[in-house]
A and B are shown apart, each in its own frame.
Chain A
Amino acid sequence: MTRKRANKKSGNKKTPKKNNLKYGLILIVVLIIAAGGILALTSSNNANKPGEDFAFYDLNGNVGHLSDYRGKVVLLDMWATWCNPCRYQMLELRKAYQNYSHNKLEILSINIDSKETIQDIKDFIDTYAQYGYPLEWTFGKEKDSLDKYLKGGGIPTLCVFDQQGHLYFSKTGLTFFSKEDIPPNWTGDKTTLKEKIDELIT
């Protein structure tokens, strides 16, 4: 057999392999596209999932729920009266409350120390009012445990929920309202309340 014939014969043998390679590549591309589509569907399904909910006691002893505030961005502030950074956090939350419409933003400051009473919270608020810093948003105590939102147990811990009640952002540690409020020597996290709220409220 001449070399040409042999090559022709081997060329015919190579064709099925090339076809297999082609089909394999096409299959991989199709799988990648399918995976991307599934991921897209999954994320859109998350958006359609019901928002989060928890119950708390307000200062009148009535039960409130996160779901009562659907349609608003909710800032959940977990705190205690003895926590110094939490005390400063109140001043930053006050700026947020003053800068956004109450139709668009709500703040829930929920005290997570089971040993503190509603009267302790009221006395805390009264002290701020006496010094000219009224804290006029919703305060309360835990009813349902908020442990799942507390990262490592430190406070203050802030959670931002979007208008559908999905957890959008959370952070442990003092959070300033805007970049201008951050002291020059601040070495902590510089994420601000304003930038996170603005991402949700247009």
Chain B
Amino acid sequence: MRYRIISSILLSLIMLNAIQTLAAQPSVTINPTNPSPQSTLTFTVALSEENILGAWLEIQECNGNKGICYPKQNLSMEEKSPGTYQLSVTLQHSDATYMQYTIKLDTPNGWEEYFKETKVTLSQGNNGGSSNNKNNAPGFEIIGLIAASVIITMLLRRRR
């Protein structure tokens, strides 16, 4: 009976600690979700932790094909509302194939890191993959315009 009480107390303490840890973990959203090289993306960090003195984003761009990483950027995030920090970043390198970021929080207990070196693959298409011309041959519209103008010209000549 004693052991059951002790084990249930221990279990509840462990669960309580886990819940608190999860609750303290910030969440990050990146818009657009499929960024491309040299695009502008917005990082939004939502915190449940209070007494945050500041939030910083560390970001580095790399080219995995050449095995190169470019210098890290350390950028201060703006508090949009209590507990929500945001930053827009424009990627700098046209040949970057991925980026890595880390969220750093300045707390009364010191610096805390989250999402350490989280890797995001950069899409190598047009405008972060939002192009409407993916399924069409390039220049298709121009060919149509030229054909239409030729036909109209021929029709006009016939009338004359």
Binds A, one of B32-40, B43-51, B68-76, B81-89: B68-76
Interchain CB contact under 8 A, B65 and A83: no
| A151: nearest chain-B partner, CB-CB | B68
CA distance A188 to B67 in the complex (A): 7
Interchain CB contact under 8 A, A174 and B100: no
Q: Which of B50-74 contact A (CB under 8 A)?
A: 60, 62-72, 74
Q: Which of B68-111 contact A (CB under 8 A)?
A: 68-72, 74, 100
CA distance A89 to B63 in the complex (A): 14
Residues from chain A with a CB closer than 8 A to the CB of B100 are 82, 84
Write the nearest CB–CB distance from B66 to chain A, whole angstroms. 4
Binds B, one of A9-17, A121-129, A153-161: A153-161
| A188: nearest chain-B partner, CB-CB | B66
Interchain CB contact under 8 A, A85 and B65: no
Q: Which of A80, A84, A175, A187 has the most CB of B within 10 A?
A: A84
Instruction: Choose one: A80, A155, A175, A188; the contact of B65 (CB below 8 Å).
Output: A188
Interchain CB contact under 8 A, A174 and B68: yes
Interchain CB contact under 8 A, A84 and B68: no
Q: Which of A156-197 contact B (CB under 8 A)?
A: 156, 172-175, 187-189
Residues from chain B with a CB closer than 8 A to the CB of A152 are 70
A88 at the interface (CB under 8 A from B): yes
Interchain CB contact under 8 A, B71 and A153: yes
Interface size class of A (residues with CB under 8 A): 20 to 34
A113 at the interface (CB under 8 A from B): yes
Q: Which of A132-164 contact B (CB under 8 A)?
A: 152-156
Interchain CB contact under 8 A, A85 and B72: no
Instruction: Choose one: B62, B71, B74; the contact of A85 (CB below 8 Å).
Output: B62
CA distance A189 to B63 in the complex (A): 13
Residues from chain A with a CB closer than 8 A to the CB of B70 are 152-154
Residues from chain A with a CB closer than 8 A to the CB of B72 are 80, 82, 113
Interchain CB contact under 8 A, B69 and A86: yes
Instruction: Choose one: A82, A113, A155, A187; the contact of B68 (CB below 8 Å).
Output: A155
Instruction: Choose one: B64, B65, B68, B117; the contact of A154 (CB below 8 Å).
Output: B68
Q: A83-B60, A83-B62 are in contact. Are A173 and B67 (CB under 8 A)?
A: yes
Residues from chain B with a CB closer than 8 A to the CB of A154 are 63, 68-70
Residues from chain A with a CB closer than 8 A to the CB of B64 are 84-85
Interface membership of chain A positions 73-103, coded 1 if the CB is closer than 8 angstroms to chain B and 0 otherwise: 0000000101111101100000000000000
| A83: nearest chain-B partner, CB-CB | B69
Q: A82-B72, A82-B100, A83-B60 are in contact. Are A174 and B67 (CB under 8 A)?
A: yes
Instruction: Choose one: A84, A175, A189; the contact of B69 (CB below 8 Å).
Output: A84
23 sample A-B contacts, Cβ–Cβ < 8 Å, listed by A number: A80-B69, A80-B72, A82-B60, A82-B69, A83-B60, A85-B62, A85-B64, A85-B68, A85-B69, A86-B69, A153-B70, A153-B71, A154-B63, A154-B68, A154-B69, A154-B70, A155-B71, A156-B67, A173-B66, A173-B67, A173-B68, A174-B68, A188-B67
Taking A80-B69, A189-B66 as given, write out 4 further A-B residue pairs in contact, using a Cβ cutoff of 8 Å, ordered by the A residue number. A84-B62, A84-B69, A85-B62, A188-B66
